[in-house]
């Protein structure tokens, strides 16, 4: 099978704080689902400032300065690419040292979102850190937001060092996105054998029990140990509190369930959950 048709678990790595965790979760997921791992290091383009300096310096001096700036940017890109190769090689050794198969290593130059959209048909699962070194600790990384808007593949958002998940929580409301998440848990190997808590927040008690009973039946038919819970109150707080009190290792949810297409991500329930859950979160669209 040619590489263009092969699907991968793709880990976005950049040497930032979550790089090792992203790599470890991606290697674990690749082994679980039986797909090869690809480590992707992407170098963003940077525009060289080109303001009108003609009033301050002569045209000839301005041209010389611009040429020097372009040359410096080319040198910077070369250094960053070399650093990226070092990062990729070190992460490859980390993966094989942990007993996993050697990953495919790739470098790309340009917009990360464009890179991922361009190779979307190769992605089975995308793994990203919640933020990079340049992002505030109270905010999501800019790349994560734009990628989540553009990509239609599962995204595992990593926000802690790796530990193998012993339990998962499915945020379930019976809608299309949550049914897709339920189907993934029941019928795909990523979470096979891992106990699942199916949690519904905000529906009327009778409706919630009907929704949960049906979902639990699907998981139990697939041989998955299942616990259900109908919660009330603010959905974000209720889900986070339930995860903490039950020591759940990963949350699975449909992304953007109650937002308009143009709003999708920023300020949404999905974004709030990623910032508050403190454990990895798998988003499905």
Both 104 and 197 in one domain: the answer is no
Q: Which of 95, 126, 158 is the last residue of a domain?
A: 158
Distance of CA 274 to the CA centre of its chain: 10
Both 151 and 11 in one domain: the answer is yes
Both 279 and 222 in one domain: the answer is yes
Q: 73 in a domain, yes or no?
A: no
Q: Which of 124, 158, 192 is the last residue of a domain?
A: 158
- The answer for residues whose C-beta is within 8 angstroms of residue 139's C-beta and 6 or more apart is 131, 275
Both 122 and 210 in one domain: the answer is no
Digit-coded pLDDT (tens) for 45-90: 665 455 555 555 556 677 777 777 777 777 777 888 889 999 999 9
Q: Are the beta carbons of 40 and 11 closer than 8 angstroms?
A: yes
Q: 72 in a domain, yes or no?
A: no
Neighbours of 170 (CB within 10 A): 25
Q: 181 in a domain, yes or no?
A: yes
Both 173 and 129 in one domain: the answer is no
The domain containing residue 19 runs over which residues? Answer: 3-46+79-158
From residue 8, how far is each of 28, 118, 127, 196, 269 by CA, in Å? 13, 14, 11, 25, 29
- Per DSSP bridges, beta strands 155-158 and 281-284 are antiparallel
The sign of the dihedral angle between the CA atoms of 193, 271, 136, 134 is: positive
From residue 123, how far is each of 11, 16, 82, 152 by CA, in Å? 10, 22, 25, 10
- How many structural domains is the chain composed of? 2
The distance in angstroms from the start CA to the end CA of the chain is: 27
pLDDT of residue 67: 75
What's the full length of the chain, in residues?
Answer: 285
Both 133 and 18 in one domain: the answer is yes
Both 252 and 129 in one domain: the answer is no
Q: 142 in a domain, yes or no?
A: yes
From residue 103, how far is each of 134, 143, 201, 226 by CA, in Å? 27, 23, 40, 34
Q: 246 in a domain, yes or no?
A: yes
Q: Which of 158, 190, 211 is the last residue of a domain?
A: 158
The Cα–Cα gap between 190 and 208 comes to 26
Distance of CA 148 to the CA centre of its chain: 8
Q: Locate 19 and state its tokens.
A: 């790089």
The Cα–Cα gap between 144 and 254 comes to 16
Q: Which helix (H) or strand (E) covers residue 97, if one does?
A: helix 59-97
Both 149 and 183 in one domain: the answer is no
Q: Locate 37 and state its tokens.
A: 């791992």
Both 94 and 8 in one domain: the answer is yes
- Per DSSP bridges, beta strands 155-158 and 104-109 are unpaired
Q: 218 in a domain, yes or no?
A: yes
Q: Locate 141 and state its tokens.
A: 């990384």
CA-nearest of 271, 274, 279 to 246 is 279
Would the pTM count as exceeding 0.85? no
Both 96 and 27 in one domain: the answer is yes
Both 148 and 21 in one domain: the answer is yes
Q: 128 in a domain, yes or no?
A: yes
Query: Which DSSP state fits 29?
Result: H
Series of mean pLDDT values for 10-residue runs along the chain (285 residues): 74 92 98 97 69 56 76 77 93 97 94 93 95 55 79 93 96 87 94 96 78 95 96 88 95 64 48 77 87
The Cα–Cα gap between 142 and 145 comes to 5
The domain that contains 190 carries what CATH number? 3.40.50.620
Both 125 and 238 in one domain: the answer is no
Count Cβ atoms within 10 A of the Cβ of residue 21 and give its class: 0-12 exposed, 13-18 middle, 19 or more buried: buried
CA-nearest of 39, 18, 35, 10 to 160 is 18
Q: 67 in a domain, yes or no?
A: no
């Amino acid at each position: 099978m040619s590489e263009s048709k092969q699907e991968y678990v793709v880990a976005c790595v950049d040497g930032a704080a979550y790089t090792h965790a992203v790599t470890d979760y991606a290697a674990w997921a690749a082994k679980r689902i039986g797909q090869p791992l690809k480590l992707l290091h992407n170098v963003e383009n940077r525009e060289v400032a080109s303001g009108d300096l003609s009033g301050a310096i002569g045209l000839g001096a301005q041209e010389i300065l611009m040429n020097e700036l372009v040359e410096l940017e080319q040198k910077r890109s070369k250094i960053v690419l070399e650093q990226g190769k070092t990062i990729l090689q070190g992460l490859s050794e980390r993966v094989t040292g942990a007993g996993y198969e050697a990953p495919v290593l790739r470098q790309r130059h340009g917009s990360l979102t464009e890179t991922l959209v361009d190779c979307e048909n190769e992605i089975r699962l995308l793994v990203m850190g919640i933020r990079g070194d340049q992002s505030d600790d109270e905010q999501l990384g800019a790349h994560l937001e734009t990628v989540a808007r553009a990509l239609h593949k599962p995204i595992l958002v990593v926000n802690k060092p790796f530990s193998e998940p012993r339990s998962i929580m499915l945020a379930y409301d019976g809608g299309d996105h949550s049914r897709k998440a339920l189907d993934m848990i029941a019928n795909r190997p990523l979470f096979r054998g891992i106990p699942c808590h199916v949690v519904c927040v905000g529906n009327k008690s009778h409706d919630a029990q009907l929704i949960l009973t049906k979902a639990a039946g699907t998981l139990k038919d697939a041989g998955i140990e299942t616990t259900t819970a109908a919660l009330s109150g603010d959905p974000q707080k209720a889900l986070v509190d339930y995860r903490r009190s039950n020591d759940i290792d990963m949350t699975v949810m449909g992304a953007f369930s109650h937002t308009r297409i143009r709003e999708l991500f920023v300020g949404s329930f999905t974004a709030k959950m990623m910032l508050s859950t403190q454990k990895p979160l798998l988003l499905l669209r």
